[in-house]
Amino acid sequence: MLGILFIASCTHYYCMNDSDPLAKYRDRRDLSESPEPLGELTDGEGEPIFVVQKHAASTLHYDLRLESGGVLKSWAVPKGPSMDPKVRRLAVPTEDHPMAYAGFEGVIPEGHYGAGTVIVWDRGTFANMKEGKGFAESLEEGHATIRLDGEKLRGGFALIRTGGGGRPRWLFFKMKDGEARPGSDVAEEMPDSVVSGRSLEQVALEEEPADLEGFA
Ligand code: MN
């Protein structure tokens, strides 16, 4: 059964044409009915950006997104990031997202992929820390180190692919440096949006899911 699932997902994901990295993003969504951004490739300017979105979908998780090659490379981090170097978080790769997604805060309507509320939990820029190797290449090799300059997440972080085969898993964790905060739980201590100051619950109350008139 697992083998069959793997082959099925392979036709959709691993074997996808690299010339359109956002095809899967668009395939999964009806963007005429969801308030999420259109899937467009964008040329980055200046330092690459990162965002961590907190997403109350069927299960609460955090989405880590890092700019690379005109898209946001994405991972779902079930327990959220930590500033404690002893805490290694599971990060499950998800489809590339368009750059415009970094600003998305709102409600994905019922019945749509990822239905639920999204807030921008943290955002900023990042720098590749690998000497003599680009970020994209580091990701392909499954071992990236970056310096995050966000409002909550700061300093060195590592993203390491573990295992392999059809279901890659990564670990995302704080490196030991002057920004590390051993024993802290940043997701618990700073739960709200860095762009609006709102909680998930406030956004869910205030934002209209799928304001269809906005698309008329
Ligand atoms: Mn998500």
For 74-133, write each residue's pLDDT tens digit.
Answer: 999 999 999 999 999 999 999 999 999 999 999 999 999 999 999 999 999 999 999 999
Whose structure tokens read 């019945």?
A: 111
* Range ranked top by mean pLDDT from 52-61, 105-114, 162-171: 52-61
Q: How many A from CA of 119 to the centre of ligand 1? A: 10
Q: How many A from CA of 62 to the centre of ligand 1? A: 6
Q: Read off the pLDDT of each residue in 124-147 and give the average, rounded to a whole number.
A: 96
The pLDDT score that the predictor gives to residue 206 is: 92
The pLDDT score that the predictor gives to residue 50 is: 98
Q: Read off the pLDDT of each residue in 42-62 and give the average, rounded to a whole number.
A: 91
Q: How many A from CA of 154 to the centre of ligand 1? A: 22
Q: Which domain holds residue 125?
A: 2-215
Count: domains in the chain: 1
Whose structure tokens read 């998780």?
A: 61
Q: Which residues surround ligand 1, an ion (CB under 5 A)?
A: 55, 63
Q: How many A from CA of 132 to the centre of ligand 1? A: 32
Q: How many A from CA of 89 to the centre of ligand 1? A: 16
Q: How many A from CA of 178 to the centre of ligand 1? A: 30
**117-149 b/e with 16+ CB inside 10 Å = b?**
bbbbbbbbebebbeeeeebeebbeeeebbbbbb
User: pTM (2 decimals)?
Assistant: 0.84
The pLDDT score that the predictor gives to residue 213 is: 44
Q: How many A from CA of 66 to the centre of ligand 1? A: 14
The pLDDT score that the predictor gives to residue 216 is: 33
Q: How many A from CA of 161 to the centre of ligand 1? A: 19
Q: How many A from CA of 83 to the centre of ligand 1? A: 21
